[in-house]
């Protein structure tokens, strides 16, 4: 309920993505390519970033880094704060999270070594699900309600 109220307060429209363990990557895909269907490509690019710049991320994972990267490569593996940072770095994007947390409703993740070239907006529900967000006035056409035309 809290996140729903925040969506309305910010004038945002939520595009729900499948909750199959790939939701973070689906939501990022929807923001980057206007379709959640490129989630495998997004995951692959994020894992490449994790491997290429391991010194940036290695200290933030609770296991052996090689095992973490191998795990993140698998479809259905949940993304986390480390994959979000890697996504921000890889795609030169400021990632804006609207959360369901009581005390922290908004989190920004910015690229570490470059200026952001774009903004990606996601909702984050109770630490278990991500969705894609759009300004309600600037929805992609596939999400806009269709007018009904009556033929008499």
DSSP for 112-130 reads SSS--SEEEEEEEETTTEE
Residue 143 pLDDT level (bands cut at 50, 70, 90): low
Residue 148 pLDDT level (bands cut at 50, 70, 90): low
Query: Domain containing 129 — which CATH number?
Result: 3.90.70.80
In the predicted model, is pLDDT for residue 141 greater than 80? no
**Could you identify the residue written with the tokens 């391991």?**
54
Per-residue pLDDT averaged across 17-42, rounded?
98
Per-residue pLDDT averaged across 83-96, rounded?
99
Q: Which residues are catalytic?
A: 20, 23, 129
In the predicted model, is pLDDT for residue 75 greater than 80? yes
Residue 148 lies in a domain: no
Residue 152 lies in a domain: no
List, as one string, the DSSP characters of the chain: -HHHHHHHHHTEEEE----SS-HHHHHHHHHHHS-GGGHHHHHHHHHHHHHHTHHHHGGGSSS-HHHHHHHHTSTTPPP-HHHHHHHHHHTTEEEEEEE--SS--EEEE--SSS--SEEEEEEEETTTEEEEEEEGGG--GGGSPPPP----
Residue 149 lies in a domain: no
> Which residue range(s) make up the domain with 36?
2-143
In the predicted model, is pLDDT for residue 147 greater than 70? no
Question: What's the pLDDT score for residue 95?
Answer: 99
In the predicted model, is pLDDT for residue 126 greater than 90? no
What is the pTM assigned to this prediction?
Answer: 0.89
Pairing status of strand 93-99 against strand 118-125:
parallel
Residue 51 lies in a domain: yes
Residue 151 lies in a domain: no
Domain count, the chain: 1
Residue 84 lies in a domain: yes
């Amino acid at each position: 309920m809290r996140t729903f109220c925040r969506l309305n307060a910010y004038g945002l429209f939520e595009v729900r993505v499948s909750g199959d363990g790939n939701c973070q990557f689906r939501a990022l895909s929807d923001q980057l390519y206007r379709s959640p269907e490129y989630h495998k490509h997004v995951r692959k690019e994020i894992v490449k970033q994790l491997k290429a710049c391991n010194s940036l991320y290695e200290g933030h994972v609770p296991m052996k880094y090689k095992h973490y990267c191998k795990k993140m490569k698998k479809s259905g593996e949940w993304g986390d704060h480390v994959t979000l940072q890697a996504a921000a770095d890889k795609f030169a994007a400021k990632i804006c999270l609207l959360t369901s947390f009581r005390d922290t409703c908004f989190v920004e993740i910015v690229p570490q070594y470059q200026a952001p070239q774009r903004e990606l907006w996601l909702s984050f529900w109770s630490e278990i699900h991500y969705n894609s967000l759009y300004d309600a006035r600037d929805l992609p056409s596939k999400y806009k309600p269709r007018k009904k035309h009556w033929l008499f």
